[in-house]
């Protein structure tokens, strides 16, 4: 490819709407152009990167016996009604009617389509197990697209679906896929992606893992044990609190506490620690706005995912007005409106004397003993795990919390979809059974952005050879010099004839301009042909990461380039 | 791939809803499954076929300096409003609002997206010419999907867009693309696809060609000259009529003609030929239902595409009631309501005495001489070309009409999109100009179906090697025989290790069952390992088209297979 005709604008200025490096560099480097919020067109360099990523994914999916198929982007609503997700998924799913008035949806995931495709075929146990996958465009109407390709509305995704006749078989396959994912990230240049236990969310099922690239710009929080191999998404990490101290019983007393609607104010007022307070965190159910009050130790935060899973419905932070059945800033367990759902976090177990809201403005109780003053209540885990918290696996206070980008996920779905969509097979004993499913996703564009996020400098991306848009960036400095032009043209043709992927810059621009464009394109091997070099009988060979630079005799240059490509592959 | 786990049902019965062979065979062979009207999921064999077709297209597009990019499937309406097509395209375009209420569309073609992607970049003449293309899912809400993958609503298409600074440059590139298309069809196994002049329809622009596979099941009619190289879609073919005879002038006379509302009745009544009548073909404009009457020689038919292009609006056959300004079956040029748009086809030129409607029930005029009785009128070409008609190129009566499937199209768009979307560049003299565009499409699935339509027998498709789902179909007949199993397993591994694409059937089924499945999968080379063969020390090697069958010594089989693959490639 000749650079002078490569579509895409390259420029130096940091775009004002970019908050992460990969987003800024992909805009500055002519990789993509936004068309609407969270919707991008890709220029050739990024299309080449994503195609290479897709090919790596394809090879690894084929290696674990995956069958590449293709599901529609536009689906009739009826299969989503069968699974129940037509109603349970909210505004993220795009809906419309076709010309006949039939309701349609845009695919944001394809469990329903996968079951539809194989449910007639896979009617006896002998046809199991199998896995089907596709690499296809998806649309998810995200409320807050951000960070370029990290969170978009339209994206290319590899989604795979496996079907099994036993949980053991699913688990075996799940493990094969887990390992295939590790190979995919390693091949794409991200060997340090870690798998973490995750919440299954709208997918259903029980066991699931997310593959996380640990980076400060990540959207997810991940709890990692520094002593054992425990890793979990904050959403899914069990919070274990062992209360020591605070075992002195006091009498319950209602106290006037003006201007103490926050835990901070309250602790200052009573000279106590947040751990000695019983905080109320208040939500409302999305479907009927009914109230939920979670009581939790004052220093901890509520984990909304755990609450949602426990309640079986979506919730939002409460909007409290004069008509609400709770008193903002002063809600406590004693005398609370009976229509409110009350939950207790396990962090309150063993605390004998707490400060809590008095359910009227400017009043708190002190000396709260839940068992004595409220009665026997059920405690569940609703808290976010904390830095320095107890590891659920090894039991030590060794939890650290990091940020991560989710670059893939795998789910053990169980029979959620096969049951709801009535997919059955006859087992070896002649009985009808629902197959057990797994599903496995990787977002292609997000992975490309994650690699860029990991490998870049201030001048541009530094693509790993395996997914670089080209292998070699050939710069003819002073291409108006006939000798330079002739040598560079010849080299370009020779390399191409040998199957090397070359981007060739023979524009009449300064070397500085040329090199800053090359930095933005991030091609791993750079070859510089210039009058000065040629006078010395050499060509300059460097790497984009600036770790290598050598002058190679003109006659040996193709061999040297091929050796360097091999070394970097 | 092991056949025992290949997803997809294969069966013998012709599906009742299939009217063309490729549709029936692709359903019977487990290639695809319908999810809704005109929407299919693809199983692995068809996905492999389409991926190979995509790769051929990609290579040929790259060879003419195409840059592969990616446009969104879901686009904001605003760029379609800029070009004006948001309003001019009808129900085929799917529209919806996103969660913020912004109007969106599903891409059915991407001229707007192409201009959006490059209009900031390509701001000076030095950046031209260039071509960008994508291979991406499209949605077009066809009123009448039919014939399997021939006419669908969701489809994968390669669409390319070129940008130029002069008409000459566009024409040169158009010609390169034309030749690239010929190579694509030849490589995919369809060397006999012909290019025909076509109507540009909703794309705009002037010159355009369709690439047609001539087949009786085609949806398009194509006029072909048997003497010269003239070929055109019926929609675009110029109709040339030279009237000889009928030069005798008669007086105009109103005649009572009961029960003669058709040309046939009329000719019987007057004992004349249809060529001696002036037929009225009546339409209404879609937007206001106003009437259009086309007068045309009685033996010819109206070409709606020509009418639409002339009128600049969409039309439909008139619905005539008592209130209509025309008299059904008796409409003629004399005394016609003034509010009706009247058009005359060139086929009426030179006819001195015609029978025409009297504009009242059961009356016709005889002796009509248009110039004398109506006055000077304009004649335009509104007729369909006819079998045996005059070739617009060589002038002989050598036109034949054939059916064809459109497997690709190329358009010279001119400045329609660059002007409406305000894409400009500075030319070498410093002046602002709109670039000139071309666009070039190929439907991937339709091409796959066309190949299947061309190469099949009653038992299944006969895929050409270049796009076959696999190269070799290995059958282990009586795989429960340990010797058969061991030899076939070994051969399977050996072939795979050598990079041969093999589908391997080692199921415990009869040879007949195995072979009919193999026929449905249509893999070009078949290898049969059986107890009887092995006893003779041979393996049977055949081709799917039944033209070749040989027994090859066991020791030479891999070489023989590779030689046969090479021969068929």
- Residues with Cβ < 8 Å from B16, sequence gap 6 or more? none
Rounded to whole angstroms, the Cα distance separating A554 from A552 reads: 6
- Strand pairing report for B538-543 and B549-553: antiparallel
Residues of A in contact with B43 (CB under 8 A): 67, 69, 117
Q: Determine whether the interchain pair A74/B130 forms a contact, defined as Cβ–Cβ distance below 8 Å.
A: no
CA B177 to chain A, closest CA, distance in angstroms equals 18
pLDDT digits (tens, 9 = 90+) for A419-453: 999 999 999 999 999 999 999 999 999 999 999 99
Q: What is the pLDDT of residue A108?
A: 94
Domains of chain B and any CATH numbers: 12-233+401-453 (3.30.930.10), 253-380 (3.90.960.10), 470-568 (3.40.50.800)
Rounded to whole angstroms, the Cα distance separating B195 from B288 reads: 37
Buried/exposed A461-486: b ≥16 CB within 10 Å, e otherwise: bbbbbbbbbbbbbbbbbbbebeebee
Length of chain B in terms of residues written: 569
Token couple for B127: 């950046």
pLDDT band for position A200 (50/70/90)?
Answer: low
Q: How far is CA B46 from CA A208, B51, B130, in A?
A: 31, 8, 33
Rounded to whole angstroms, the Cα distance separating B521 from A360 reads: 76
Helix (H) or strand (E) holding B220: strand B220-225
Q: What is the pLDDT of residue A379?
A: 95
Query: What does the pLDDT average to over A372-383?
Result: 93
Q: Determine whether the interchain pair A74/B96 forms a contact, defined as Cβ–Cβ distance below 8 Å.
A: no
Cβ proximity of B355 and B270 under 8 Å: yes
- Is A36 at the interface with chain B, CB within 8 A? yes
3-state DSSP of A160-205: EEEEECCHHHHHHHHHHHHHHHHHHHHHHCCCCCEEEECCCHHHCC
Of A47, A102, A154, the CB nearest to B72: A154
ipTM over 0.85: yes
Q: What is the pLDDT of residue B569?
A: 92
Tally of CA atoms within 13 A in the half-sphere of B338 that contains its CB: 0
Question: Taking each helix axis from N to C terminus, what angle separates B557-568 and B482-497, rounded to the nearest 10 degrees?
Answer: 50
Minimum mean pLDDT among A225-234, A498-507, B500-509: which range?
A: A225-234
Q: What is the pLDDT of residue B205?
A: 56
Q: What mean pLDDT value characterizes chain B?
A: 93
- Residues with Cβ < 8 Å from A334, sequence gap 6 or more? A252, A356, A358, A359, A365, A368, A373, A374
Least Cα distance to B209 among B189, B228, B229 occurs for: B229
pLDDT digits (tens, 9 = 90+) for B67-97: 999 999 999 999 999 999 998 888 899 999 9
- Is A138 at the interface with chain B, CB within 8 A? no
Q: Determine whether the interchain pair A42/B69 forms a contact, defined as Cβ–Cβ distance below 8 Å.
A: yes
Query: What does the pLDDT average to over B521-528?
Result: 98
Instruction: State the burial class of residue B278 (Cβ atoms within 10 Å of its Cβ: 0-12, 13-18, 19+).
Output: buried
Rounded to whole angstroms, the Cα distance separating A44 from B374 reads: 62
Q: What is the pLDDT of residue A518?
A: 97
Cβ proximity of A208 and A412 under 8 Å: yes
Query: What does the pLDDT average to over B144-154?
Result: 92
Q: Determine whether the interchain pair B154/A1 forms a contact, defined as Cβ–Cβ distance below 8 Å.
A: no
Q: What is the pLDDT of residue A220?
A: 86
Token couple for B286: 């879609």
Of B1, B41, B98, the CB nearest to A141: B98
Instruction: Annotate B249-302 with DSSP letters as a single string.
Output: ----EEEE-TT--SHHHHHHHHT--GGGBEEEEEEEETTT--EEEEEEETT--B
pLDDT band for position A501 (50/70/90)?
Answer: very high
Token couple for B107: 């891409």
- Residues with Cβ < 8 Å from A305, sequence gap 6 or more? A199, A201, A235, A236
pLDDT digits (tens, 9 = 90+) for B432-451: 999 999 999 999 999 999 99
- Is B63 at the interface with chain A, CB within 8 A? no
- Residues with Cβ < 8 Å from B559, sequence gap 6 or more? none
Rounded to whole angstroms, the Cα distance separating A502 from A508 reads: 19
Q: Give how far the C-alpha of residue B452 lies from the chain's centroid of Cα atoms, to the nearest Å.
A: 15
Q: What is the pLDDT of residue A243?
A: 87
Percent of all residues in chain A with a pLDDT value above 90, rounded to a whole number: 79
Least Cα distance to B1 among A183, A132, A55 occurs for: A132
- How many residue pairs from chains A and B have C-beta atoms closer than 8 A? 173
pLDDT digits (tens, 9 = 90+) for B280-305: 999 999 889 999 999 999 999 999 99
- Residues with Cβ < 8 Å from B322, sequence gap 6 or more? none
Cis peptide before B129 (omega within 30 of 0): yes
Q: What is the pLDDT of residue A287?
A: 87
- Is A79 at the interface with chain B, CB within 8 A? yes
Helix (H) or strand (E) holding B489: helix B482-497
CA A280 to chain B, closest CA, distance in angstroms equals 32
- Is A8 at the interface with chain B, CB within 8 A? yes
Residues of B in contact with A43 (CB under 8 A): 67, 69, 117
A residues 140-199 lying closer than 8 A (beta carbon) to B? 141, 143, 153-154, 156
Residues of B in contact with A38 (CB under 8 A): none
Q: What is the pLDDT of residue A205?
A: 56
Q: Determine whether the interchain pair B99/A113 forms a contact, defined as Cβ–Cβ distance below 8 Å.
A: no
Sheet with B538-543, edge to edge strand ranges: B502-505, B472-476, B525-529, B538-543, B549-553
Q: What is the pLDDT of residue B246?
A: 67
Q: What is the pLDDT of residue A213?
A: 92
Query: What does the pLDDT average to over A231-236?
Result: 85
Query: What does the pLDDT average to over A78-101?
Result: 93
User: What is the three-class DSSP state of B364?
Assistant: strand
pLDDT digits (tens, 9 = 90+) for B182-198: 999 999 999 889 888 87
Of A120, A141, A154, the CB nearest to B99: A141
pLDDT band for position A246 (50/70/90)?
Answer: low
* Interface residue of A1, A6, A31, A70 to substitute, partner B, most B CBs within 10 Å: A70
Number of H helices, E strands in chain A: 15, 31
Instruction: State the burial class of residue B242 (Cβ atoms within 10 Å of its Cβ: 0-12, 13-18, 19+).
Output: exposed
Q: What is the pLDDT of residue A201?
A: 58
Q: Determine whether the interchain pair A96/B99 forms a contact, defined as Cβ–Cβ distance below 8 Å.
A: no
**Rg of chain A on CA atoms, in Å:** 29
Least Cα distance to A190 among A447, A524, A403, A440 occurs for: A447
Instruction: Annotate B443-469 with DSSP letters as a single string.
Output: EHHHHHHHHHHHSEETTEE---GGG-S
Q: What is the pLDDT of residue B200?
A: 60
Which residues, in sequence order, are bridge partners of residue B550?
B541
3-state DSSP of A64-93: CCEEECECCCEEEHHHHHHHCHHHHCCCCC
User: What is the three-class DSSP state of B535?
Assistant: helix
Residue B245 has pLDDT above 80, yes or no: no
């Amino acid at each position: 490819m000749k650079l002078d005709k490569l579509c895409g604008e390259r420029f130096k200025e940091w775009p004002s709407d970019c908050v992460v490096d990969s987003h800024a560099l992909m805009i500055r480097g002519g990789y993509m152009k936004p068309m609407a919020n969270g919707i991008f067109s890709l220029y050739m360099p990024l299309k080449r990167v994503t195609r290479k990523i897709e090919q790596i994914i394809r090879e690894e999916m084929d290696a674990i016996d995956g069958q590449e198929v293709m599901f529609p982007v536009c689906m009739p609503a009826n299969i989503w009604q069968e699974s129940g997700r037509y109603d349970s998924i909210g505004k993220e799913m795009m809906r419309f009617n076709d010309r006949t008035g039939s309701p349609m949806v845009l695919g944001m995931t394809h469990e329903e389509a996968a079951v539809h495709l194989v449910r007639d075929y896979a009617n006896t146990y002998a046809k199991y197990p199998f896995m089907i996958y596709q690499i296809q465009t998806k649309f998810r109407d995200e409320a807050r697209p951000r960070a370029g390709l990290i969170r978009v509305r339209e994206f290319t995704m590899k989604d795979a679906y496996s079907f099994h006749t036993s949980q053991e078989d699913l688990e075996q396959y799940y493990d094969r896929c887990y390992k295939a994912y590790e190979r995919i990230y390693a091949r794409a240049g991200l060997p340090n992606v870690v798998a973490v236990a995750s919440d299954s969310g709208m997918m259903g099922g029980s066991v699931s893992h997310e593959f996380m690239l640990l980076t400060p710009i990540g959207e997810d929080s991940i709890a990692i044990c520094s002593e054992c191999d425990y890793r979990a998404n904050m959403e899914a990490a069990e919070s274990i609190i062992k209360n020591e101290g605070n075992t002195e019983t006091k009498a319950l007393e209602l106290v006037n506490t003006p201007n103490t609607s926050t835990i901070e104010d309250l602790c200052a007022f009573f000279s106590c620690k947040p751990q000695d307070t019983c905080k109320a965190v208040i939500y409302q159910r999305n479907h009927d706005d009914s109230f939920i009050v979670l009581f939790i130790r004052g220093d901890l935060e509520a984990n909304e995912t755990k609450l949602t899973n426990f309640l079986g419905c979506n919730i939002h932070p409460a909007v409290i007005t004069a008509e609400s059945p709770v008193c903002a800033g002063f809600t406590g367990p004693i005398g609370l409106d009976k229509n409110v759902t009350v939950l207790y976090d396990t962090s309150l177990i063993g605390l004998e004397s707490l400060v809590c809201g008095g359910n009227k403005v400017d009043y708190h109780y002190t000396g709260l003993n839940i068992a004595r003053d409220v009665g026997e209540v059920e405690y569940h885990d609703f808290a976010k795990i904390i830095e320095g918290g107890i590891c659920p696996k090894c039991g030590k206070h060794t939890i650290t919390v990091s940020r991560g980008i989710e670059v893939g996920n795998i789910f053990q779905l169980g029979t959620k979809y096969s049951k709801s969509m009535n997919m059955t097979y006859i087992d070896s004993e002649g009985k009808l059974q629902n197959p057990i499913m797994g599903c496995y996703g990787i977002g292609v564009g997000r992975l490309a952005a994650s690699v860029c996020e990991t490998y870049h400098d201030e001048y541009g991306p530094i693509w790993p050879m395996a997914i670089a848009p080209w292998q070699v960036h050939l710069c003819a400095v002073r291409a108006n010099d006939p000798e330079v032009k002739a040598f560079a043209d010849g080299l370009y043709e020779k390399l191409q004839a040998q199957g090397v992927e070359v981007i060739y810059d023979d524009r009449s621009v300064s070397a500085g301009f040329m090199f800053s464009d090359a930095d933005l394109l991030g091609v791993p091997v750079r070859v510089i042909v210039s009058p000065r070099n040629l006078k010395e009988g050499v060509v300059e060979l460097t790497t984009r990461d600036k770790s290598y630079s050598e002058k190679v005799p003109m006659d040996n240059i193709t061999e040297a380039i091929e050796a360097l490509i091999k070394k970097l592959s």
